[in-house]
Amino acid sequence: MQRMNVHADRPYEVCIGNGLLRQAGELVREVHAPCAVALVTDETVAGHYGDTVAQSLAQSGFRVEQYRFAPGERSKNMEQLSDLLEWLAERQMGRGDLIAALGGGVTGDLAGFAASIYQRGIAYVQLPTTLLAAADSSVGGKTAVNLHAGKNLAGTFWQPALVICDCNTFGTLPRGELAAGAAECVKYAMLGSRALLERMTRDGLNTPWEEILPACIDQKADIVEHDERENGVRQLLNFGHTVGHAVELLSGYTIRHGEGVAVGMAILTRAAERMGICARGVTDELTAVLTALQLPTTCAYAPERLAQAALGDKKRRGDEITLVLPRGVGECILHNVKTAELLPIIRLGMEGAV
């Protein structure tokens, strides 16, 4: 097992290894005394790992109750959040108790947001079971639910007390879900590691993710330590997300988050190259790795619809929006543009794409 430290406002560890869900109780007890635990998970993940984690927690002295909800992005909404909060109150969960988020990014966001506002904040731990959640969303303390107007528009910053990444869980993922998580790993490669990009291009979905994961988490932990509240450098972690969130929204969330991010990265990299911001040939390198990982690089939505949806993004400030654009593999910059410039940029990134 590898242990990594995140030095946020409330420091915590990220544990990475195989078979860690069976040790969940012991690991959680290192950071929190035995108490009542609300094990929050979707119905699919519960069938795979719910009993394993519940038994481990119980063996370490925790009293466990499971909250299950329908899987998928469509459950990440205010109605589901309200239902979870009412459920916690009905079971008389207190400020000394704990929420455990077992699952992918939707579960982590929903449970983390609930933890941040229930009784003005209680502790929670992340137990990601998808590559996407392990590599990205479980670390850093961003929690949110979607509104009708867009993705992640209601949320908080609330750091977990512990993150437990059991890499064995990736073996139960459908290839589409694994690929969606790989998109976030590509993002980290574009932010800071050509070697990471080259390895994923070579190995595709057969990449040994347990070896890739620490590099992704190390990058994110470093950025979070410097900008926990996303006022500056942390915005780099949104590479591909402004357009990607628009793709997700327009699809009614039938397109996976990672798939949307892949499309967003491709569109903005192509635009940046044509604008002279990005080195020549980077679009080809990015397209090669996304193709190797069975991820899309284009979408069927018109540039006008994408731009309109993207302008609802939380990175907009008045008549400006911050885009993350690559200068080369391993280097991205924050680029502020007027909202009126977004459509031409998206058009530039979509022209001639196959």
Do the Cβ atoms of 25 and 62 come closer than 8 Å? yes
Task: Kindly state the DSSP code that residue 273 receives in the 8-state scheme.
Answer: H
C-alpha separations of 147 from 76, 150, 152, 252 in Å: 9, 5, 7, 12
Sign (positive or negative) of CA dihedral 284, 286, 289, 291: negative
| Residue 187: Cβ within 10 Å count | 29
And the tokens for 311? 């302008």
Task: Kindly state the DSSP code that residue 130 receives in the 8-state scheme.
Answer: S
- CA 17 to CA 150: how far, in whole Å? 35
Task: Kindly state the DSSP code that residue 176 receives in the 8-state scheme.
Answer: H
SS (H, E, C) 10-79: CCEEEEEECCHHHHHHHHHHCCCCCCEEEEEEEHHHHHHHHHHHHHHHHHCCCEEEEEEECCCHHHCEHH
- Neighbour order of strands in the sheet with 320-328: 316-317, 320-328, 331-338
Question: SS3 for 316?
Answer: strand
Do the Cβ atoms of 16 and 2 come closer than 8 Å? yes
- The two beta strands, 12-17 and 2-6, are antiparallel
- Helix 175-192 with 194-203: angle, nearest 10 deg: 150
- CA 171 to CA 23: how far, in whole Å? 18
Active site residues: 120, 142, 184, 220, 230, 234, 238, 241, 245, 257
- CA 143 to CA 230: how far, in whole Å? 13
